[in-house]
Structure 1
């Protein structure tokens, strides 16, 4: 090696190594994301497997166009949206956008569950009712991605992301306050 050459340059990771690293770091987030898109536990596990398979394939052509985090979320959400759209073709459901949701899902009446667990289930049920594009933004927001990162994953502008998040937060707050008034 010639004097003065940069010895700190690392070789790019192999497809397998890149996938393993991403799966280790973002595996739990992928699990949560799948549960956010799929209410049925067995189908959610299938969705996780589909996401991991596509993520592994995607590292064959990943060239660092964005952060690994954004790449993982982009792949995961694209697979999940395709999953939802395929399920809708098989069994159409009444999905609504942010403008159409008027109430949170009914509370679970299981006495053993705490209020926090009940709230999480109601919120997740509400998220399941959203159209895929709105669901994607909300799930990414719940994963603590910034507006810019959400925009990078979804292709929306940061302003459009901020608007959707603001509208959804207001809608959820209004719904929860009305629900609290009726109890």
Structure 2
């Protein structure tokens, strides 16, 4: 792949799929600084992996696969290397106005509660939930995770049950 073509493709894909990067990074980190670092690491890995893209998966599937694999391996990497990295782009938090309605505050709190619950799931279940929340089909989720569609259904039902229990504080999940 010619470098100019790679840069063009990467820029286009980044515009279309940057929200996926942010969602994955947020789900796998606890602080905004870590989220920023992980998002940068995901983008770096996507850039490095792009020459190996062979079109066997769709761009969103490939981008998610890179993001999830990077996130799952991220904590094993050394922190000095992360400290030396220069941002590829500035990941910005959602900006909210000073005047927030009650509904906006409740919605933000619900999202925070959801991410807190996702952090408590095993990493493979967290990945599954993220893909589901991003409205990928079972086929697309299966492609990203390398499992069968029926296995996606089974694992997703278990993950939903676990999430429900975490969100409601119901220890037995019923």
TM-score w.r.t. the length of structure 1 is: 0.71
Q: Which runs of 5+ in 1 are unaligned?
A: 1-10, 88-110
Question: 2:147 pairs with 134, 148, 156, which one?
Answer: 156
Q: 1:84·1:132 contact (CA, 8 Å) conserved in 2?
A: no
Question: 1:117 pairs with 108, 116, 127, which one?
Answer: 108
Separation of aligned partners in 2, 1:147 and 1:112:
31
Q: Secondary structure at the match of 2:51?
A: coil
Q: Per the alignment, do residues 22 and 142 of structure 1 end up closer, same or farther by CA in structure 2, a change over 3 Å counting?
A: same
Q: Secondary structure at the match of 2:46?
A: helix
Q: Per the alignment, do residues 64 and 118 of structure 1 end up closer, same or farther by CA in structure 2, a change over 3 Å counting?
A: same
Shift of 1:80: 0.5
Q: Which runs of 5+ in 2 are unaligned?
A: 79-101
1:83 pairs with 2:74? yes
Q: 1:81·1:132 contact (CA, 8 Å) conserved in 2?
A: yes
Shift of 1:86: 4.7
Q: Secondary structure at the match of 1:60?
A: helix
Question: 1:34 pairs with 11, 19, 25, which one?
Answer: 25
Counterpart for residue 128 of structure 1? 119
Separation of aligned partners in 2, 1:48 and 1:64:
23
Counterpart for residue 87 of structure 2? none
TM-score w.r.t. the length of structure 2 is: 0.74
1:69 pairs with 2:60? yes
Q: Per the alignment, do residues 86 and 53 of structure 1 end up closer, same or farther by CA in structure 2, a change over 3 Å counting?
A: closer
1:170 pairs with 2:172? no
Q: 1:37·1:84 contact (CA, 8 Å) conserved in 2?
A: no
Give the number of equivalent residue pairs. Answer: 145
The Cα RMSD (Å) is: 2.5
Give CA-to-partner distance per residue, 1:56-100, whole Å, 9 cap, x none: 11111111011111000001111011014558xxxxxxxxxxxxx
Separation of aligned partners in 1, 2:121 and 2:77:
16
Question: 1:45 pairs with 31, 36, 39, which one?
Answer: 36
Q: 2:113·2:167 contact (CA, 8 Å) conserved in 1?
A: no
- Larger proportion of helix: 2
Q: 2:114·2:167 contact (CA, 8 Å) conserved in 1?
A: no
